[in-house]
Amino acid sequence: MNSLWVGVDAGKQHHHAVAIDADGTRKLSRRVANDEASLVELVDTVGRIAMDGLVTWAVDLNSGGAAMLIAVLLARGEQVLYIPGRIVHHAAGGYRGDGKTDAKDAAIIADQARMRRDLQPMRVDDEISSELAILTSRRTDLMRDRTRAINRLRALLSMYFPALERALDISNVKGAIILLTGHQTPDGLRRVGHARLESWLRKNKAYNASGLAQLAFDAARSQHVRVPGQDAAGATVAKWAHHIRYLDREMAEVDRDIETRFRRHRKAAVIESMPGFGPLLGAELLAATGGDVSVFGTADRFAAVAGLAPVPRDSGRVSGNIHRPRRYDRRLLRTAYLSAQLSIRSCAESRIYYDRKRAEGKRHTQAVLALARRRSNVLWAMLRDDTPYRPGPKPAQPPPARAAA
């Protein structure tokens, strides 16, 4: 029986696998195609070399091109560790030679898996959490596309019609985007007139059509100079506005899909019982944790992965130097921060804790992070025990003062 550690440098079309024994001796080095048949053959070959010994696999990707590999390994009951690419990059400096090849990277991954004891085993996410991971990632892409489109539209509009750009809240008011799909230039707005513009906005279901038409018409009357290139710029603004409306429709559809799937998850009711969590933030939590917090081991580990547990950076006579960790899950941190910020408005206990931290001299961001750290312990216990959130007893009110005799 031989214990083997297999490191896999994952790629889109091919992977390179290197197996080493307890002494670090290389037992296998092979380039394999990223398809099921080739990967199954690799697993069988490693099993024959190990002769029923313990085999530990390690990969430098946990999604993307390594998804098929991980699925095959977990389906075969293999133990799989995840080593982030950043760790592999820094570890490479401690090995001989400056060259870089897939075989060398795979050997480094295998050797790190052999020596380290702090690597987390990979788990199989439940089906709903996997779907939510895809949908929330899609929603993030749509939000970023919408932000880029709005920034480009505003930059172009401010070039030839700055008065209208100042008057409209393009980022937050849907009616402003509706207006720009049909009317973009000052002379065009003056020709339409206030009454016809208001009627057109009502027909296109713009909220507060009268006030929006008044803002646009006042902006048009304040500018009579024609900027060179105005017609082409106006046509481009209209295309950007149509694109933003399309993105809004896509986001609404994705939001409905996310909410539908989130409601079907066994932990949905527990998560939503926590103040500050709704379907969207709950879905992001499930996507980041795979629907199971037990993989983190402890509540402190959960907080550390979320970037909520500060770490010391002491050196020499400098002590007590506390900072946020450099490596953490940004999705978990975002979910924890936003839910804590929302809970301040809806949960009396969160508000009391936030106010106490502010009274201690902490800034708003620091106070919200402190609240998020405290809430992470509660959330961990709720998900571990499958127990909904129960607010604590209200603080006792002091008795009324007696009137003077």
Q: Mean per-residue pLDDT for 270-287?
A: 94
Whether the pLDDT of residue 250 is over 60: the answer is yes
Tokens linked to 322: 């506390």
Whether the pLDDT of residue 305 is over 90: the answer is no
Whether the pLDDT of residue 153 is over 50: the answer is yes
Read off φ and ψ for residue 32, nearest 5 degrees. -125, 150
Whether the pLDDT of residue 162 is over 80: the answer is yes
- Residue 295: pLDDT band (50, 70, 90) is confident
Name the residue among 132, 387, 386 with its Cα closest to residue 283. 132
Q: Please tell me the distance from the alpha carbon of residue 367 to that of residue 324, in angstroms, as a whole number.
A: 14
> Which has the minimum average pLDDT: 228-237, 281-290, 339-348, 386-395?
386-395
**pTM for the complete prediction?**
0.82
Whether the pLDDT of residue 374 is over 80: the answer is yes
Cβ–Cβ under 8 Å, residues 7 and 42? no
For the chain, the C-alpha Rg in angstroms (whole number) is 29
Summarised one tens digit per residue, pLDDT across range 170-216 is 999 999 999 999 999 999 999 998 899 999 999 999 999 999 999 99
CB-count burial class (<10 Å; 0-12, 13-18, 19+) for 290: middle
Summarised one tens digit per residue, pLDDT across range 98-139 is 888 999 999 999 999 999 888 878 877 788 998 999 999 999
DSSP string, 327-392: S--HHHHHHHHHHHHHHHHH-HHHHHHHHHHHHTT--HHHHHHHHHHHHHHHHHHHHHHT----PP
Q: Please tell me the distance from the alpha carbon of residue 359 to that of residue 356, in angstroms, as a whole number.
A: 5
Termini Cα distance of the chain: 92
